[in-house]
Each structure stands twice: as structure tokens, then as C-alpha cells.
Chain A
Amino acid sequence: MSRNPYVRPVSPTTWYMRNGRYIKYMLREVTCLLVGFYSFFLICVLAILAGGSEERWLAFLASQQNAFWLAFHVIALLFYLVYMTFDWFQLAPKAMPLQVGEQKVPPAFIVAAHYVAWAVVTALVFLLAGVF
């Protein structure tokens, strides 16, 4: 008897349409485009600030006061919160499991610790920025 194994083709461009699990993963990955663009945007904002011209800064602020830019900021924030923060914090206990003695630290505790650290760092940044 001769062997003649059959190899099923996998589409390099549409493989992620095979199931919902892959689509969710691709959605997470594709947010990197928005994250990249927002990072670039922030660098531009910093450049305007560093330039020291109050006139340019006020002009920039005025340019953001419309529906397009407001929508952009809301969508970017949602993607950051849902995919970059919530999703990754959910995955953190897998990458950093903790065990105390014979007991595993519950994953929810590790996730919660990330949120606490996030809140502390955010408060520190706000403090340094003079928000409070």
C-alpha cells in the first residue's frame, strides 16, 4: 500500500474567517493601527507644546472641537480600554501566574492588582501634570 497524504490548503489571506475566535483575535491585532496612529498624534501634540507658541497651541485645541476629532478620540479611547487594557489585563494571569505555598493565587486577584497599579500610575501622572 502506498502512502499519499493529502494536505488541505490554508488561505494565507482569509484564514481568520474560519471561526469567531480568530476574528476576535484579528480585531485585537488590528487595533495596533489605531494605537500606532494615536501615538503619532500624541507626539505631534507634544511637538506643538514643546514649540512654546501659545497661538499654535490654541489653534490646535480649536481644531479638535468638531465631531470628527471628538469621535476619533472616543473610538481610540474605547479601543485602548477594551482591547489594550481590559483584554491584556485578562491575559496577565496566564503570563504571570503566582503561587503561594501550595495555593495558586486566583487569576482575578492578579487582574485586580493590574487595575490598582494602573490607577496609581494614572494618579501619579495626573499629579505630575498638575491636574490635582
Chain B
Amino acid sequence: MSKRTLDIEVLRYDPEQDTEPHFMSYQVPCEEDWAILDALNYIKEELDTTLAFRWSCHMMVCGSCGMMVNGEPVLTCKTFVRDLPKDVRIEPLENFPIERDLVVVLDDVMEKLQMAKPYIIRKDPPPENEEFNQPRSALYKFKQYTMCVNCMCCYSACPQYALDSSFIGPAVLALAHRYNIDSRDQGKSERLDILADHDGVWNCSFVGACSEVCPKNVDPAAALQQMKIDGAKAYWLQKLPGGKS
């Protein structure tokens, strides 16, 4: 198998030494079938053991290796060397503080995840001693949204989140939508107050970048627009005589 040498620039930041991040260059002899994650592992093992980055599964499931590669938020395990030019620039995901090198601080999104109540809420008890059947047609309504691996590439692509981090953001809202449209769930009204707020769906101006970069084709932008319609409907239904407040 032929090798190809890439000139890789990596944004480095040592919180104990640096006042701001800086680029370091590495020449990496890559195998043809390598992903960028393999090149990073080569750097760490052969060239510079101090480089810090997150990864785990190397198969698009864990969502931990999200980074900016040549300005695009991607999963580095899914981004192949053969598809890239000779010069490659790797940075930590944009719109998040840098903890160290390519590792970002995700605390903000982790807190927001709880606001979405991403679990099935029941008001009536589920059926006893029998399976809780769900027709496939009901599953297909939300299945796409279950594919999210929380890689946060969508937050990195979202200019709204970049400008105003109080925005709950694409992945969390899409996850809330996933439960809202699940036929087993009865918690839509509990999620509505937070999600239909200004920091919820109404802070989205439909740039659509979240869906364009999503490595799992989740389409959070679609979820947000559908939630806007739901939120508007609920608002006007409240206004009707006898409407619930």
C-alpha cells in the first residue's frame, strides 16, 4: 500500500504554559486507507507524545473525535486522508473553550442535555406484564434522531451558538424532539416551556449548517423547524377559549 506524506498543522494549547493557542507542524507519512484520527495517533506515538485529543471507538459510534479539519467540523475517524489535500489543519471544535490542545470543554452542552429531559416521560403507567408495543411507522418518525452520537459538530457549525451560548443548540433540541414525537412519550408539555423559549428553538435562524456537517445525517435543523411549528401551535391553542395555560 502506498504512503502519502501530509503536512499537518495542529493547534496546540497548554493551559499551564500558554496564554493563547499556537500551531505546530508535523510531517506524517500516512497509509492510503488512514483516517485523520490515525494520523493523529501516529503523531502521538511517533512524533510528539504530549499531544492531547479525545477518541475511543474509531467507528463513528462514540462521537468523541470531533475536530475541525481544514475549517470543517468532522469526526476524524470518518475523515480520510485520501480525500484531503497535502496540507491539513486540525483545530479543536469551534465554539467551545479549549481545555488542552484538541480537547474542548463540553460542560455547557452536558448541562443543557438535562434541560431537554431526554427520556420517556409517562403520565399514564406503561402496560403491565406485557411489552410496550410500538408500530414501525411510529418508530420511523423519530429513528433518524436516535442516530446522534453527541459529537457536537453541529454546535461547532452553528453561528447562532457561536454568538450566543445561551442558545440550547442543535443536538440537544433535536434530542428533545426525538422524545416529543415518540408515540410512547407523554412529556411534550414538560419540555415545551424551556424549548419554546427564546434560548430554545426561537434562537435558531435556520442557517442549516448543523445538518450539513452532521456525520450521522441526523438533520437537527429539521427538528428545530418542526419544534417551532409545535411551539407556535401550542401558543395559539392556549389562546383559544378553554385552552390550557
Chain A residues proximal to chain B, CB less than 8 Å = 1-8, 10, 12, 15-16, 18-19, 21-22, 25, 29, 91, 94-97, 99, 101-102, 104
B105 touches A5 (CB 8 A): yes
- Residues facing A in B1-22 (CB within 8 A) are 13, 15-16, 18, 20-21
**Residue of A whose beta carbon sits closest to that of B213:** A21
Q: What residues of chain A lie closer than 8 Å to B162, measured between beta carbons?
A: 10, 15
A5 touches B163 (CB 8 A): no
User: How far, in whole Å, are A92 and B13 apart by their CA atoms in the complex?
Assistant: 43
Q: Does B140 contact A (CB under 8 A)?
A: yes
Q: What residues of chain A lie closer than 8 Å to B212, measured between beta carbons?
A: 21
User: How far, in whole Å, are A74 and B113 apart by their CA atoms in the complex?
Assistant: 48
Q: What residues of chain B lie closer than 8 Å to A7, measured between beta carbons?
A: 97-98
User: How far, in whole Å, are A16 and B136 apart by their CA atoms in the complex?
Assistant: 42
A6 touches B209 (CB 8 A): no
Q: What residues of chain B lie closer than 8 Å to A95, measured between beta carbons?
A: 222, 225-226, 228-229
A94 touches B97 (CB 8 A): no
**Residue of B whose beta carbon sits closest to that of A94:** B222
Q: Does B114 contact A (CB under 8 A)?
A: no
User: Which one, A1, A8, A16, A101, contacts B94 given CB within 8 A?
Assistant: A8
Q: What residues of chain B lie closer than 8 Å to A15, measured between beta carbons?
A: 159, 162-163
Q: Does B194 contact A (CB under 8 A)?
A: no
B95 touches A6 (CB 8 A): no
User: How far, in whole Å, are A104 and B71 apart by their CA atoms in the complex?
Assistant: 34
Q: Does B221 contact A (CB under 8 A)?
A: yes
Secondary structure type dominating chain A contacts:
loop
**Residue of B whose beta carbon sits closest to that of A29:** B205
Q: Does B87 contact A (CB under 8 A)?
A: no
**Residue of A whose beta carbon sits closest to that of B17:** A4
Question: Interface residue tally of chain B, by bracket?
Answer: 35 or more
User: Which one, B95, B98, B207, contacts A22 given CB within 8 A?
Assistant: B207
User: Which one, A2, A25, A94, contacts B207 given CB within 8 A?
Assistant: A25
A–B Cβ pairs within 8 angstroms, 28 of them: A2-B15, A5-B15, A5-B97, A5-B105, A6-B15, A6-B21, A6-B97, A6-B98, A7-B97, A8-B21, A8-B94, A8-B97, A10-B95, A16-B159, A18-B71, A19-B71, A21-B207, A22-B159, A25-B159, A25-B207, A25-B209, A91-B206, A94-B221, A95-B226, A96-B226, A97-B226, A102-B137, A104-B140
Q: What residues of chain A lie closer than 8 Å to B136, measured between beta carbons?
A: 102
Q: What residues of chain B lie closer than 8 Å to A96, measured between beta carbons?
A: 226, 229
B159 touches A3 (CB 8 A): no
User: How far, in whole Å, are A75 and B97 apart by their CA atoms in the complex?
Assistant: 43
B137 touches A99 (CB 8 A): yes
Q: Does B54 contact A (CB under 8 A)?
A: no
Q: What residues of chain A lie closer than 8 Å to B97, measured between beta carbons?
A: 5-8
Q: What residues of chain B lie closer than 8 Å to A102, measured between beta carbons?
A: 136-137, 140
Q: What residues of chain B lie closer than 8 Å to A94, measured between beta carbons?
A: 211, 219, 221-222, 225-226
- Residues facing A in B74-102 (CB within 8 A) are 94-95, 97-99
Q: A3-B99, A10-B162, A22-B209 known; 20 other A-B pairs, CB under 8 Å? A: A2-B16, A5-B15, A6-B20, A6-B98, A8-B98, A15-B159, A21-B207, A21-B208, A22-B207, A25-B205, A25-B208, A25-B209, A94-B221, A95-B228, A96-B229, A99-B137, A99-B140, A99-B141, A102-B137, A104-B140
**Residue of B whose beta carbon sits closest to that of A19:** B71
Q: What residues of chain A lie closer than 8 Å to B18, measured between beta carbons?
A: 6
Given A12-B163, A22-B159, A102-B137; A5-B99 close (CB under 8 Å): yes
